Chains A and B, each alone.
Chain A
Amino acid sequence: MLVVTDLAKTYPTGDRALRGVSFSVEGHDAVFIIGSSGAGKSTLLRCLNRLIEPDRGSVRLDGQEITTLTGPALRQARRRMAMIFQEFNLVERLTVMENVLSGRLGSVSLWQAWRRRFPAEDVEAAYRTLARVGLEGFENKRADALSGGQRQRVGIARALVQRPRMLLVDEPTSSLDPRTSEAVMRLIVELAAEDGIPALVNIHDVPLARLFARRVLGMRAGEIVYDGGPSGLTAEALERIYGAAPAAAEPVP
């Protein structure tokens, strides 16, 4: 269970990316965060696992305060909040198996990591997870030899192999075509449900959010302005999140 209270972040440039965000996620539902670019969605996810340091506020995962952790304790907390990225962020020159096993880096020694000698149960888990994401037999391919959809599947496998307590998913489909987007989104939601963990998903694509979400958070200018089911996303609610629709005379970009 994740409880976020009054989380705020102002960048050195003066951009107030988060202005006191509070929400909680219980059970194992997928929560979709929508909002325009620059609304603070990516900053929010990265403040949860402290890839970005929040200025104030509290993040509690299963009762543990994350914002005050340091060193190994912080790294363990990161392992429990696995992240999936917009640009997949696979290590291009490594094999698929190395990319998946890198999800275990928080739990093995540097020497084991260097020699690629991961514990047998980690290797077994990696094979199993590759099968779950539909990439059986891909373990020895290099990550840069895969298609976009396949890469994101490796990214999902890397996240699941961390045995996380929740998934932080940052625009997972923005670099994919519409059909692949839907397949990848479905895979994330289904696998998270199978593992009984919640997923916090940033997304641009409102129809995709409607399709998969049980709950939607709408962000605008660093604040949560909508919190409810997808059916509540009326024209009025969308205007609150995205601002007024462009006038008819203006060409839509």
Chain B
Amino acid sequence: MSTLARTWRRPSIWPRPWLGPVAWLAFAAFLAWNVVSLEMNPERVARGLSRLGTVAAGAFPPDFSRGGLLLSGIVESIEMATLSTLFGVLLGIPVAVLAARNVVPGALYAGGRGVITLGRTFHELIVAILFVKAVGFGPLAGVLTLTLNSVGFFGKLLAEQIETIDRGQIEAIRSTGAGRGAVLLYAVLPQVLPRVIGLTIYQWDIHLRQSTIIGIVGAGGIGATLYNAFSRYDYDFVLAILLVIVGIVLVGEAVSALARRWVQ
């Protein structure tokens, strides 16, 4: 029998072996403290659930009698989503170009990234509150909110796509004596166009969802109707609105899936 002297252990990710258990303990303590400090009380959860039952009971059957109000809210949401996607993409494309390290000089790049960060910093509800304060209640505030939101979202994703394109094609177009604009048109745009179309559809889909919610702070769309129904305890009308939102989001999803298949 020979002695097997050699053993092997996977190298630890921790610089010292005792650091692992200590880190896990610290993490568990942090979680426990969160539960305590946020008053995660099971009794309150139970009481809340029974109250939720009352709401649910009041919601049945859903009340579609105010169809006109419902329809105008939904149509407004769709219009807001479409218009803000159009504006967002028109603004987002130049911002994306500025925020792509491989096509613009450093100073411009910093500016482009700055705009994107600005567009992504705040949740759309906060932005919506600001625009409602600025331009008053109604869909204009909503369109401005969603436009700003898409400059951040669309700009960031498109900029990342631009940064992954094939440099050889850029080099070839530059070597023909083409200027910056022509390089963008002939070497960059063809490479990212499918992504631009896909992202536009996805952005519309997202805006459709968001436009149903920002009405809650007065920025137009079906959300305003929903909020009013809640505050009047019209739970049956609330359910009707929610069902219509579910329907519209599903339809949006289907349209977007079809369109994306067409782009491939």
List chain A positions with a Cβ less than 8 A from chain B.
49, 51, 72, 75-83, 85, 87, 89-94, 98, 102-107, 110, 113-114, 155, 158, 162, 168
12 pairs from A and B in contact (CB 8 Å cutoff): A75-B179, A78-B176, A79-B176, A89-B169, A91-B191, A92-B191, A93-B193, A93-B194, A102-B172, A107-B177, A110-B181, A110-B182
- Closest residue of chain A to B182 (Cβ to Cβ) is A105
Do B174 and A91 have beta carbons less than 8 Å apart? no
A104 contact set on B, CB distance < 8 A: 176
Whole-angstrom CA separation of A155 from B169 in the bound complex: 11
- Closest residue of chain A to B191 (Cβ to Cβ) is A93
B190 contact set on A, CB distance < 8 A: 91-94
Query: In this assembly, does B93 line the interface, its C-beta being within 8 Å of a C-beta of chain A?
Result: no
Q: How close is B13's CB to chain A, nearest CB, in angstroms?
A: 31
Whole-angstrom CA separation of A106 from B176 in the bound complex: 6
Do A51 and B175 have beta carbons less than 8 Å apart? yes
A92 contact set on B, CB distance < 8 A: 166, 169, 190-191
Give a binary string over B183-221; 1 marks a CB under 8 Å from any A CB, 0 the rest: 001110011011000000000000000000000000000
The 5 closest A-B pairs by CB, nearest first: A106-B177, A79-B177, A89-B172, A105-B178, A89-B168
Q: How many A-B residue pairs have CB under 8 A?
A: 86
Given contact pairs A90-B169, A93-B190, A94-B186, A110 touches B179 in the complex (Cβ within 8 A): yes
Do A162 and B187 have beta carbons less than 8 Å apart? no
Which one of B174, B187, B193 has the greatest number of beta carbons of chain A within 10 Å?
B174
- Closest residue of chain A to B172 (Cβ to Cβ) is A89
Given contact pairs A110-B182, A113-B182, A91 touches B175 in the complex (Cβ within 8 A): no
Q: How close is A44's CB to chain B, nearest CB, in angstroms?
A: 14
Do A110 and B185 have beta carbons less than 8 Å apart? yes
Whole-angstrom CA separation of A155 from B177 in the bound complex: 15
Do B185 and A106 have beta carbons less than 8 Å apart? no
Whole-angstrom CA separation of A158 from B171 in the bound complex: 13
Chain B interface, number of residues (Cβ within 8 angstroms): 21
Task: From the candidates A85, A94, A110, name the one contacting B168 in the complex (CB within 8 A).
Answer: A85
A106 contact set on B, CB distance < 8 A: 176-179
List chain B positions with a Cβ less than 8 A from chain A.
166, 168-169, 171-179, 181-182, 185-187, 190-191, 193-194
Do A105 and B186 have beta carbons less than 8 Å apart? yes
- Closest residue of chain A to B167 (Cβ to Cβ) is A89
Given contact pairs A87-B168, A92-B191, A105-B186, A82 touches B175 in the complex (Cβ within 8 A): yes
Do B176 and A113 have beta carbons less than 8 Å apart? no
Whole-angstrom CA separation of A92 from B166 in the bound complex: 10
Q: How close is B155's CB to chain A, nearest CB, in angstroms?
A: 22
Task: From the candidates B175, B181, B187, name the one contacting A78 in the complex (CB within 8 A).
Answer: B175
Whole-angstrom CA separation of A98 from B181 in the bound complex: 16
Do A82 and B172 have beta carbons less than 8 Å apart? no
A87 contact set on B, CB distance < 8 A: 168
Do A91 and B177 have beta carbons less than 8 Å apart? no
Whole-angstrom CA separation of A98 from B186 in the bound complex: 9
B191 contact set on A, CB distance < 8 A: 91-93
A75 contact set on B, CB distance < 8 A: 177-179
Do A102 and B179 have beta carbons less than 8 Å apart? no
Q: How close is A211's CB to chain B, nearest CB, in angstroms?
A: 26
Whole-angstrom CA separation of A95 from B178 in the bound complex: 18
